[in-house]
Structure formats: C-alpha cells, structure tokens
C-alpha cells in the first residue's frame, strides 16, 4: 500500500523542474507510505515518477519503482492484488522469471505479457502507473471498484497524477480554477462523482478505467464495467447460498495476505460478522474493533460475535464532544471535501487501530451488492410510478434535489442525472444497486476510507468488493436480494444462518448514527466564520453565498432547515478556508508514522 505520483512535461523548456516537482509531490503524500521512497526520472528529465511505500507484501524485496529485465518498462503501484500468486504461477509457466515475491512485479510481468488486457486480469484494489519506453506510452489505471483513488491534472505544459489532491495543490503552478460542475455535484451529493473534481483541470480517474498518455495526448478507456445480467435462473436458494459462501470465504482468505498485523472492523451487523466468521474459519486469530457512543452503540452485538468466534475484541467509546474536537484533523485528512458525518468516528477509530494493526478488513459493499439500504427496501416494496422512482431514490438517499437554488449560474448543465441510465436499463432494485456501485461506493465510501486510513498509514481491505464476488452478485436475481416477503440481503443471511445467531441475522440495520445537529451546535461560531469567509472568493462566483448565509442564519436562529444540508455547505466552506490553503503552503501534518 502506497502513494504514487508523477509528472510528464509537454514542453522541454520546463524539463529541469522534474526532480523538484516530483519531490514536492512525494512530500505531500509521505503519510501514505512512510517506509520507503523511490524515484524514476528519465535521462532528459521530461518524465518523473515517485512511490511512497507502506511495506506490507514482500517487505524486503518490494522496493519501487520496479522494472522489466531490459529496463524499458516500469511501474509505481498503490494497492494490493489478491490473485497475484495465481497470476505469477501462470506467467512462470510461460517462461517469465521473477526477482521478488511482490504483487508489484506480477502486475509488471502481466503487462509485458498481455498489454492493456492485463488490467482486467487483476483482482484487488489498485492505482498504478506503467511507463513503456518501447511504445513511448504511459498508462494510469484505477481498480474495478474504485477502492484506490488517482487524480490527474492537465494543462498545456504538463500532465500530473497523484494519489491525493493535496499533492497536486502543493505545486505552485497548478491551476486550481473552480469547476462549476464539480461544485454542483458536491452540493447535491455531499461528495463529487468521478470524473469531476472541484477544479476544472483536475479529474479523478473513474473506477474500472485507464488513461493512456501518448505523445502528450491523454485518452481515457474503460476496461471493466458492472453489469446485471441476472442470469442465475434457479429456484435452488441453497445452491446459490453455497456458491456465495465459497466466493466470500475465498475473498476473505485472499485478503489475509501480508507480513503485518491485520484486524477486522466488527459492528455486529451481518456483513462484518460474516467477514469475522470466515477470518476465524481461515485459521486467523485477529483482533476485532468497534466504536460507539456511551448510550448509543452496537457493542452488545459485536461483543457477542467476537466472543462466539473466540476473537480478541477492542471497543472504542467516543462522545460528540470528542468528535467535535477532531474537526481540523478530519478536514485535513479528507483531502477533498466529503460531507459524510461518519468520517469523524472513522478517524477516531483509526487513531486506535494504528496502535494495534497496519491492515483492517471491513464490510463495505455488502449493502450495495445485496440490497441492504433502507431506500432500496422502500422503493422496491412500493409501486411508485415509473417517472417518480429516480427522484424518490435521490431523496431517500439524502441527496439534495433542490441544489440548484444555491448556484449563481442556473444555465450550468445539470449532470446530476448522468447515471440515471441504470434506472432506465435495469430492473428497479438492480438499477439502484448499479447507481450506488458507480457513485456512492467509490467516491464516498472508498474515498473517505482511503484518505482517513492512509492519513494514519493504515490499509483498508474490503472482501465484499472482490471482483469475482461482485460479478457473481450481479447475476443473482433480485428476489434473492430482497425477498418477496421484504427481507433485505436475503441470500446473504441465508448463507450465514448456520454461522451466526438469529439475533445477529435478523436484527434491524443500525449503522453508526452521528449527531450532526449536536456537532453543528458545538461549531456554531466556526460555521458562521467559514460561511462568511466565502464572501468575495472564487467560490462566491459559483455559489450564491447570500443564500447559503441565509440558510445558516435561519437554521441557527429560527430552527428551520435540514442539519445535513447546513453540514454539507459548512464542510465545503471550511475546506476552502482551512484545508486548501494548508495544502498549497504545505503547512499541515497528518498523523501517519514518522
């Protein structure tokens, strides 16, 4: 697990800056990989790449960059490839030799053998750069599910990529002109959906895609996309459950790889309890972790699961006051504004995790694969008119459909419905699942997990997002996800029925509910200061700041308005007030290992 960055100059008169710029990029993402740093700089200094390494697999031999035997192909890599051993054996049978035991070298050899077709052979989480001097091409690749991020900046002189936006912001000649489309995305969704960012010349590589740079021209390609053929036509639920068991068990086992301590985030819900079960069945006695408030938590359930499996369990108790004190730390760690209140308990939990482990397994993806969220159940079990479904889904997902009232330019193209096609092309439940798998999961859940955990030099792994498991789940008919009787995640619960108590299988979904209103009350002066700081700024040219100020005034003084909407606009304002200047001046410190 690492951070990667690089720069490709288009104009030779700037080539002498390559080393200085790539060092600035590396310094900005040092927290992602404090164990090692490696550079590749072309002899003419027109191209430079860097890797900041958090050593987990092949600690002794996994230094990057890594090269082909003739030195003409190289790679810097962030992530883990869980099927690298199988790929390695296949490649060895065709004559390829290996100098290390790392998955990085397997990606490189696989590319040498199969070219861009190799990207879809990888099962894991990754963002990597491969440069090929034979064809004079550079490839930037993001994993199938978007677990690992990669930002790309482009102007007339250069192309820069980096694992985090703060790396790009650290360079003095990067143009951070605001993108009204990215701002529009954020105000509606509370996060920005790829490929957009808050800045016109910065794009986030989409999940399942790669970019090719050839002769200074950057072109995007899709190498994988999720589909929902629902072609497992069977009434044998027992057979489906057994197939699911095999795949999830295999995913968990494969993600136990590494030479560092590993833990499990255990809420006591079905998803995390299933992962803990298969961890134990794989013979790993790992420590499990959970977080909660003194009077609102799921400790009873997580404690029972851990005890039943004989796993050591650590409980972290926090308070709204403690979470409120984390404001600056969380905003700086997030890298790009995400108005998900769950970022705060995740940050507090990460502080505890780093005292025990380097890697944690987590249950993200189970709801999106098997229909676990309340909005899925609401729409699927009601017969809403076809034309009302998408709007209802947006509202039940806590997206703000009236977002345009805060935009100055009402002629900006409305892109909020750009993934609505899934509702048009797929049956209702699968349309909702596909929408979230393309948007919410990679750009909210995975982004916050990556940024907050990596700020602490921790790696998160997500067995439910195993490529084979995702593709299998997409083939399961809707009625096995939400049953005719209205049971959510029905096939998953059936599969785990013999492993977990009924009290775990049948309990209502709880989640970690963060008291947004209490936090806003704690930060009242800070909220007003952040919103007022927008007046006269570039953001004031995109947002109608007067309307934002009125919203905040009415919330605090008249008790009107939705706390989450105030929260969303506050996080954006505070990020521009506090985080962006810190990134640009490089005056910030994250808690990763020194």
Residue ranges per structural domain of the chain: 2-222, 237-382+440-505, 516-585
For residues 333 and 308, the answer to whether their CB atoms sit within 8 Å is no
| pLDDT tens by residue, 257-300 | 887 899 999 999 999 999 999 999 999 889 999 999 998 889 99
> Does the structure show a pLDDT above 80 at 416?
no
Three-state DSSP class for residue 272: helix
> Does the structure show a pLDDT above 80 at 215?
yes
Q: Is 2 a catalytic residue?
A: yes
143 Rama class: left (phi>0) / alpha (psi -120 to 50) / beta: beta
| pLDDT tens by residue, 574-594 | 999 999 999 999 888 888 754
Percent of the chain residues past pLDDT 90, beyond the cut: 76
pLDDT of residue 63: 79
* Mean pLDDT confidence for 147-165: 96
pLDDT of residue 231: 80
pLDDT of residue 88: 96
pLDDT of residue 59: 57
pLDDT of residue 41: 87
Three-state DSSP class for residue 203: strand
| pLDDT tens by residue, 247-267 | 999 999 999 988 789 999 999
pLDDT of residue 409: 85
> Does the structure show a pLDDT above 70 at 319?
yes
Of the listed ranges 63-77, 109-123, 509-523, the least confidently predicted one is: 509-523
pLDDT of residue 15: 55
> Does the structure show a pLDDT above 80 at 45?
no
Determine whether 109 is exposed, middle or buried from the number of CB atoms within 10 Å of its CB (0-12, 13-18, 19+).
Answer: buried
CA distance 423 to 393: 10
pLDDT of residue 58: 54
pLDDT of residue 61: 57
Q: Which two tokens stand for residue 497?
A: 């029925």
> Does the structure show a pLDDT above 70 at 323?
yes
> Does the structure show a pLDDT above 80 at 35?
no
> Does the structure show a pLDDT above 90 at 354?
yes
Determine whether 517 is exposed, middle or buried from the number of CB atoms within 10 Å of its CB (0-12, 13-18, 19+).
Answer: middle
pLDDT of residue 267: 93
Secondary structure of 318-375 in HEC code, one letter for each residue: CCHHHHHCCHHHHHHHHCCCCCCCCHHHHHHHHHHHCCCCCEEECCCCHHHHHCCCHH
Of 69, 127, 57, 76, residue with least CA distance to 97: 69
| pLDDT tens by residue, 166-198 | 999 999 999 999 999 999 999 999 999 999 999
| Beta bridge partners of residue 407, listed in sequence order | 543
pLDDT of residue 410: 80
| Beta bridge partners of residue 162, listed in sequence order | 5, 151
Determine whether 137 is exposed, middle or buried from the number of CB atoms within 10 Å of its CB (0-12, 13-18, 19+).
Answer: middle
CA distance 489 to 483: 8
For residues 371 and 481, the answer to whether their CB atoms sit within 8 Å is yes
| Beta bridge partners of residue 138, listed in sequence order | 131, 213
pTM: 0.95
> Does the structure show a pLDDT above 80 at 519?
yes
The helix (run of H) or strand (run of E) holding residue 313 is strand 313-317
> Does the structure show a pLDDT above 80 at 551?
yes
Q: For the chain, what is the mean pLDDT?
A: 92
pLDDT band at 122 (very low <50, low <70, confident <90, very high): very high
CA distance 200 to 42: 29
* Mean pLDDT confidence for 318-330: 95
**Can the peptide bond before residue 65 be classed as cis, meaning omega within 30 degrees of 0?**
yes
CA diameter of the chain: 73
For residues 295 and 320, the answer to whether their CB atoms sit within 8 Å is no
Secondary structure of 69-112 in HEC code, one letter for each residue: CCCCEEEEEEEEECCHHHHHHHHHHCCCCCCCCCHHHHHHHHHH
pLDDT of residue 17: 76
Can you identify the CATH homologous superfamily of domain 2-222?
A: Aminohydrolase, N-terminal nucleophile (Ntn) domain (3.60.20.10)
For residues 359 and 459, the answer to whether their CB atoms sit within 8 Å is yes
For residues 104 and 62, the answer to whether their CB atoms sit within 8 Å is yes
Contacts of 589 (CB under 8 A, 6+ apart): none
| Greater model confidence, 223 or 30 | 223
> Does the structure show a pLDDT above 80 at 12?
no
> Does the structure show a pLDDT above 90 at 204?
yes
What does residue 7 show for φ and ψ, rounded to 5 degrees?
Answer: -140, 135
| Greater model confidence, 237 or 307 | 307
Of 239, 38, 196, residue with least CA distance to 129: 38
> Does the structure show a pLDDT above 70 at 235?
no
> Does the structure show a pLDDT above 90 at 7?
yes
Of 515, 514, 501, 513, residue with least CA distance to 302: 501
pLDDT of residue 570: 97
At the topology level of CATH, where does 237-382+440-505 sit?
A: Rossmann fold (3.40.50)
């Amino acid at each position: 697990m690492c951070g990667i960055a690089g720069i490709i100059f288009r104009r030779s008169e700037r080539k002498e800056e390559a080393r200085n710029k790539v060092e600035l990029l590396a310094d900005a993402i040092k927290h992602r990989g404090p164990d090692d740093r490696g550079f590749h700089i072309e002899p003419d200094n027109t191209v430079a790449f860097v890797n900041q390494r958090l050593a987990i697999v092949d600690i002794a031999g996994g230094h990057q960059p890594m090269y082909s035997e003739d030195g003409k192909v190289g790679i810097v890599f962030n992530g883990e490839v869980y099927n690298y051993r199988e790929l390695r054996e296949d490649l060895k049978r065709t004559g390829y030799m290996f100098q290390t035991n790392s998955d990085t070298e397997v990606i490189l050899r696989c590319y040498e053998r199969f070219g861009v077709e190799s990207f879809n052979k990888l099962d894991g989480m990754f963002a990597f750069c491969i440069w090929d001097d034979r064809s004079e091409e550079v490839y930037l690749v993001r994993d199938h599910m978007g677990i690992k991020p990669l930002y790309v900046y482009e102007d007339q002189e250069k192309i820069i990529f980096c694992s985090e936006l703060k790396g790009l912001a650290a360079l003095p000649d990067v143009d951070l002109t605001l993108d009204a489309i990215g701002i529009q995305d954020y105000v509606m969704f509370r996060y920005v959906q790829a490929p957009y960012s808050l800045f016109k010349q910065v794009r986030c590589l989409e999940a399942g895609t790669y970019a090719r740079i050839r002769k200074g021209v950057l072109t995007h390609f899709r190498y994988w996309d999720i589909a929902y053929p629902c072609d497992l036509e069977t009434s044998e639920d027992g057979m489906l459950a057994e197939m699911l068991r095999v795949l999830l068990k295999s995913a968990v086992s494969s993600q136990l790889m590494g030479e560092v301590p590993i833990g499990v985030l255990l809420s006591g819900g079905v998803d995390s309890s299933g992962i803990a079960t298969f961890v134990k069945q794989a013979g790993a006695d790992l420590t499990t972790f959970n977080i909660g408030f003194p009077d609102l938590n799921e400790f009873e359930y997580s404690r029972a699961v851990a005890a039943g499996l004989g796993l050591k369990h650590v409980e972290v108790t926090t308070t709204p006051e403690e979470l409120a004190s984390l404001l600056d730390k969380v905003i700086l760690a997030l890298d790009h504004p995400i108005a998900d209140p769950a970022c705060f308990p995740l940050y507090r939990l990460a502080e505890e995790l780093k005292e025990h482990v380097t890697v944690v397994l987590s249950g993200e993806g189970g709801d999106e694969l098997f229909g676990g969220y309340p909005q899925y159940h609401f729409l699927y079990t009601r017969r809403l008119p076809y034309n009302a479904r998408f709007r209802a889904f947006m509202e039940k997902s806590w997206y703000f459909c009236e977002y345009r009232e805060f935009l100055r330019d009402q002629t900006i193209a409305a892109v909020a419905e750009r993934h609505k096609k899934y509702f048009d092309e797929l049956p209702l439940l699968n349309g909702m699942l596909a929408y979230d798998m393309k948007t919410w999961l990679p750009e909210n859940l995975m982004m916050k997990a990556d940024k907050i955990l990596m700020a602490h030099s921790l790696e998160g792994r997500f067995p439910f997002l195993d490529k084979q498991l995702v593709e299998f789940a997409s083939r399961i008919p809707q009625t096995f996800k939400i049953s005719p009787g209205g049971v959510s995640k029905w096939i998953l619960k059936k599969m785990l029925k013999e492993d977990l108590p009924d009290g775990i299988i049948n309990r209502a979904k709880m989640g970690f509910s963060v008291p947004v209103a209490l936090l806003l009350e704690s930060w009242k002066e800070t909220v007003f200061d952040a919103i007022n700081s927008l007046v006269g700024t570039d953001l004031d040219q995109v947002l109608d700041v007067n309307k934002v100020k009125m919203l905040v005034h009415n919330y605090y003084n008249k008790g009107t308005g939705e706390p989450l909407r105030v929260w969303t606009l506050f996080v954006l304002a505070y990020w521009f007030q506090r985080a962006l200047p810190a990134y640009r001046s490089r005056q910030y410190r994250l808690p990763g290992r020194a």
